[in-house]
Amino acid sequence: MSVSISSLRLAVQHVSFVVLTFGGHFNIFLGSSLPCLSCPFVGSCGGGCYLMAWQRAMSWLFPPLVEALTGVGSWARAWSTLNFFLSGFVVFALLVIVLGKSWCGWVCPFGVVQDYLARLRRLLGLREAEMSERVKAGVSNVKYVLLAYLTLMPVLYSFGWLSRDFVLSFCNICPAKIIMPLATLDYNRLGLPVLSSSPRAVFALILLAVTGGMVAAMFFKDRFFCLVCPMLAMINIFRRLHLLRLVKDVGSCRGCGSCRRTCAMDNQTIYRERESARPHDPDCLGCFSCAEGCSTEGSLGVRLGPLNLFGSTPVHAIGRLTGGKK
């Protein structure tokens, strides 16, 4: 009996969701360098989203280095600061290199929440909103702007140009900060200081507006948040090193478009690729639905380093295509 990619993925997503959002109740904590939105604002989270650790690191990393370079501070302090930063970053990089984009398609708890919103829409018989390729390409660039924003703001704080409220600049406006505690009924760390002094109140109001808009967007468009998620931008930085990846035998591809139709992100790159055996789309989530939906023997596959884990077959595709997007 063979297990389909979609059922295996569903099982892994649910196990990850339980471990990453309720693991704290069982003393599970997988570190603070996870390449997915496993949000520490959920009191019982079983591992921390690296975006939070990255923002914190940016708020203390540079001043000791600048001080050492200008002779004001010691190199010993600069090196120990750098070492501390690298200990978290190297773990993040290794996790990304091994699992690649599948952190998004298979592990991320916020991805699971988005998938449930899309399921609810389908259950209600509502059609998915359409987005032209041009609009999608524009929206997709937002993730890089957000990555620059969440890096720069804490750096400016570290040199005294902004207040402490800007350290977690992205968390302050990240919809997962509200949605994940609500989805897991764990509100202990959820604070919305709308009545406090600026800029905390401004951040709280922006967060409420972003979350409301994002819930609607994620309901009408599959994985809309993923399109703008700065974690995906960080994962993309290592794209040439990802061990778990999609492969394409461009010679056998018939151009039928099944891969395009099964993709939750409406990615076109895998379908259009006619040269490289390692197609890459900046919005790909590594879910491998396209490989499962491809009806040509061996045209699309999944590899972990040199190991072939899956190759497309007509049999898998029949099961997948009758289910449409999942």
Residues in contact with ligand SF4 by the rule CB under 6 A = 36-37, 39-41, 49, 51-52, 104-105, 108, 110-111, 170-171, 174, 176-177, 225-226, 229, 231-232, 246, 262-263, 265, 267, 270, 281, 284-290
| Least Å from the CB of residue 117 to ligand SF4 | 12
> Do 51 and 231 meet the contact criterion of CB atoms below 8 Å apart?
yes
In whole angstroms, what is the distance from residue 287 CA to residue 284 CA?
8
Task: Give the CA-trace dihedral at 121, 108, 173, 217, to 10 degrees.
Answer: -20
> Do 193 and 201 meet the contact criterion of CB atoms below 8 Å apart?
yes
Entry field: residues in the chain:
326
Q: Helix (H) and strand (E) counts for the chain?
A: 16, 3
| Least Å from the CB of residue 77 to ligand SF4 | 28
- For residue 170, the number of C-alpha atoms closer than 13 Å in the C-beta half-sphere is 29
- Between 75 and 220, whose beta carbon lies closer to ligand SF4? 220
| Least Å from the CB of residue 267 to ligand SF4 | 4
- Between 147 and 265, whose beta carbon lies closer to ligand SF4? 265
| Least Å from the CB of residue 238 to ligand SF4 | 14
> Do 170 and 228 meet the contact criterion of CB atoms below 8 Å apart?
no
- Between 64 and 286, whose beta carbon lies closer to ligand SF4? 286
| Least Å from the CB of residue 48 to ligand SF4 | 7
| Least Å from the CB of residue 22 to ligand SF4 | 16
- Between 16 and 81, whose beta carbon lies closer to ligand SF4? 16
Which residues face 308 on adjacent strands? Answer: 303
DSSP state of 241: G
* Strand ranges, E, within 212-281: 244-248
- Between 229 and 247, whose beta carbon lies closer to ligand SF4? 229
| Least Å from the CB of residue 151 to ligand SF4 | 13
- Between 215 and 287, whose beta carbon lies closer to ligand SF4? 287
- Between 95 and 171, whose beta carbon lies closer to ligand SF4? 171
